[in-house]
Chains A and B, each alone.
Chain A
């Protein structure tokens, strides 16, 4: 048995040599795994098109539109993308069922853009065992960046920890020495954020006067706000889901109290959080962003925004362009297209992961200027930069530099 590998290696070496001699990329051997052929690349996807999180269905639709446009323009290196997108209604057991169907029956090359932390957690082990790439997940959990244990899984969104870290950097710079109160949801989502900001504050974490958690099942969070106010903080930080974010902003507004307020990007939507909370209550609130906001007039003449709008006009005329989910799906699909181009004719699953871990300063149309996608074999977090923004007169205004949320940089 010991001879076989060396034989394989020498063959490979010879082949490489031959290639080097002939010097032509065109002569490169075409290599395929299941799901890729000369004419087609099969991509599997799972998004909640029904159920409580069905609003995120737009993510899948926007991805489909990008791939459709690529196909209409001739595909990637002559191959059409066959984008198979299923519904899991945001239910992990259903996601497992659908991913098995994708891998075993549809025989996709890879899965891409599966949405939600619970669903991705449910299918992660299966995909890693099968060695099928689980690429660019629509979730901000920090755990997707774990190439050592899950070499076939790679996230996409900036992680909640990175974002928490960025707020720490902002506070250290602009509000040093102020007393900080943090409200967070008592689950992985809230705790990721909490860890990020505490790591970022370092020894200044002692400025945190209260860390208050709430449960998703609570009807209102008034009691927590009261408890936090009793500590007289100068800064209120909300690591909450949209409903509770809006409640917190409104309650603090009603108390006629004006602390510095920071709200997680998840709850920073103008239409679904700031407006319900009341623009007068949201005035001056700080958050961070990585993508362009379609409702922001400053991108009116931006090439990326024009491309986004022309895509929606042609392929998704019914979609609300200011729905940030459309922008997310658009950006993710563009990242996937760039990756597949990088893979060339070697469409093996191993090469796809290798190329995915080798993205350098990739700029995507819908990302904020200066935010670049970077990965390496030890860094499976494609986006880790954000820019701070302030809510002013009914819309978000970016300010400051693009900040990296990596703890080590």
Chain B
């Protein structure tokens, strides 16, 4: 029983990583209706920027804020320069663009900062949390930040003009344009926000997995699984999905004989496939009706 509880706790801690990433994935999906395969690498690059700023002596929270601003601007620039011209191109062209971006960002990060792992500081400390042996204060802080981010996003989309405009632009571009919303810029804004959320995810994840150009490889796949499980249209669902994937993965790895560790990654992928077949909208997503 103790092992069970411990694995659930460890799963929640790991799940927070996936939840963070899943939020960024949902954000971009809301804005452009595609999954951005370069999302993880963008987050990794942003984390390196934060690290570099701190190496230059910028205090943690200033570096954090500056990184968010830089990432936001970077996201907008990537959309304007690379993906706006591709807006009307077939999905496959976009996917090729994402993959190219993935490879480019990964290699450039390696070129600038090399491939050895780097320590990334945490503002929460890393002692055991509330006497629990399994969740550190950093991981507790991470769960807190993820939930805060979730509430902020909810408020943003529910109560602000710009948030409502973004939703309108994604749901009904035609009508949105008619009431005077600049839908093109709403997409760019979506990219900027997704990129900034990714930066937060990267900064929170790096103290656990260590900073290096390949740190997001596995995380992104689990993040996808979490987002699909929770529903690609629901921020709340994706966060929930993140925790569920983390717990599910640990329990299956520990208790299902024969599955063991070799199949841990395939479990995440199988989850994606099963959810897409059985309930394509995920746990909390809503069906998107499109008029043909």
Report which A residues bind B (CB closer than 8 A).
Answer: 51-55, 186, 212-215, 217-220, 222-224, 226-227, 229-230, 242-243, 246-247, 250, 254-257, 271-273, 275-278
Contacts and interface: CB of A to CB of B under 8 A. Distances in A.
Nearest to B263: A215
A219 B110 contact: no
B10 A52 contact: no
B209 A220 contact: yes
A11 B106 CA distance: 63
B209 A55 contact: no
A226 B6 contact: yes
B261 A186 contact: yes
Given A223-B250, A247-B210, 18 more contacts: A51-B110, A55-B114, A55-B116, A212-B261, A213-B261, A218-B218, A218-B265, A222-B10, A222-B14, A226-B10, A227-B254, A243-B117, A246-B117, A254-B127, A255-B128, A256-B133, A276-B119, A276-B210
**Is the contact region of chain A dominated by helix, strand, or loop, or is it mixed?**
helix
Nearest to B107: A51
Contacts of A243: 117, 209-210, 212
Contacts of A275: 119
Nearest to B216: A219
Given A54-B110, A275-B119, A220 B208 contact: yes
B118 interface: yes
Which 7 A-B residue pairings sit nearest by Cβ, starting from the closest? A276-B119, A219-B218, A272-B116, A230-B3, A223-B250, A219-B219, A226-B10
B157 interface: no
- Counting contact residues on chain B (CB < 8 A from A), the size range is 35 or more
Given A219-B14, A222-B10, A227-B3, A54 B114 contact: yes
B128 A219 contact: no
Contacts of A250: 126
B11 interface: yes
A37 B13 CA distance: 64
B94 interface: no
A218 B264 contact: yes
Contacts of A229: 6
Contacts of B213: 52
A263 to B, nearest CB: 14
A247 B117 CA distance: 11
B17 A219 contact: yes
Contacts of A224: 261
Contact of A227 (B7, B114, B210): B7
B245 to A, nearest CB: 11
